[in-house]
Amino acid sequence: MDLVVFDLDGTLLNKQQRLSGVTLKTLEKMRQAGIAYTIATGRTHLAAAPCIEAHDFPLWQIYKNGVEWWHPDQQAYRHQGILELAMIDATLQTFANNEVTPFIFCLEEDGTQSVYYPKPYNHYGGTVFSELSKHHNLTLLDIEQMPNNARIINISALGHPDNLRLIVDECNTQEHIVAYSGGGIYHPETHWIDIHHSSTCKGSAIEQLKRELNATNLIVFGDGDNDLTMFKIADEAYATDNAPSYIKAQASGTVGHHDEDGVALFLQKRFDL
């Protein structure tokens, strides 16, 4: 049994951050053919929802680089790799030093999510705040209100790549956290950063899903640093043409550009759809 896993930004989504008509038709043909497929993204479930609203991905969906799972039929979450406040104290100071606004996603006792944040330093933080404010089922709170026993899922932010690179470097000195940064797909000087527990990644989440589905052949598609953990465990790993050369070098092969239906056109030939 094949299991196909897609990254979203720079891979399955076009430059409008949506699934193209060709991609939608291809996914529907995969569903009809009984091919198992899902997504694994650094986005949160809420941030990804408008991007994939035109297609119902039927299996467990992997978000926040494996920290968060969502099942559309069961309407249920899973969470893995919860952080404690003490594990991110030094990192939060690095955010402040570089004037990058962190948005700290926390899991509350009733299963809902809250996001704690300081006053935005600049338009990057303002952009994230505006986007998160659109979600009625997400509570935004001042960072001063974050309890000492907060159950932290991840930290997300937007910023200039130079500032985010410094934060990634600091995270690399910490034992319990891992940081990924990338972007420039939609706006050249706007990059994202995602920080979460080092025990969790796309690769470990997909390995677990593969076991649960009894899949025997894993095929993955991606374009960034946070996709490399799933490249390592895949039977077939494909980078999109827009991926950096060092990502392509760790793939089994390459497919077309993300804004030219590269993944969909490859799958049509791969599975004779």
Count other Cβ atoms within 10 Å, centred on residue 181: 22
| pLDDT for residue 238 is more than 80 | yes
Distance between CA atoms of 272 and 256, rounded to whole angstroms? Answer: 17
CA atoms within 13 A on the CB side of 205: 30
Place of tokens 């980078």: 239
pLDDT given for residue 28 in this prediction = 97
pLDDT given for residue 225 in this prediction: 93
Residues forming beta bridges with residue 78, ordered by sequence position: 69
pLDDT at 259: 97
- Tokens standing for residue 122: 């600049």
Ramachandran bin of 64, using left for φ above 0, alpha for ψ from -120 to 50, beta for the remaining angles? left
pLDDT in tens, 69-115: 999 999 999 999 999 999 999 999 999 999 999 999 999 888 788 99
Give phi and psi for 76, each to the nearest 5: -135, 150
CA distance 11 to 23: 11
Mean pLDDT of 244-258: 97
Contact 12, 6 (CB under 8 A): yes
pTM score = 0.85
88 contacts 161 by C-beta, under 8 angstroms = no
Name residue 237's beta-bridge partners.
220
Q: Above pLDDT 90, what percent of the chain?
A: 87
What's the rounded mean pLDDT across residues 154-173? 95
Please state, in angstroms and rounded to a whole number, the distance separating the CA atoms of residues 68 and 81: 9
Q: What is the pLDDT of residues 14-66, one digit of tens each?
A: 999 999 999 999 999 999 999 999 999 999 898 899 999 999 999 999 999 99
What's the rounded Cα separation, in Å, for the pair 224 and 245?
A: 10
The reported pLDDT for the residue numbered 18 is 97
Does position 185 have pLDDT exceeding 80, yes or no? Answer: no
Identify the pLDDT of residue 44.
87
Residue-wise pLDDT tens digits, 217-228? 999 999 999 999
Close Cβ partners of 165 (under 8 Å, ≥ 6 residues apart): 181
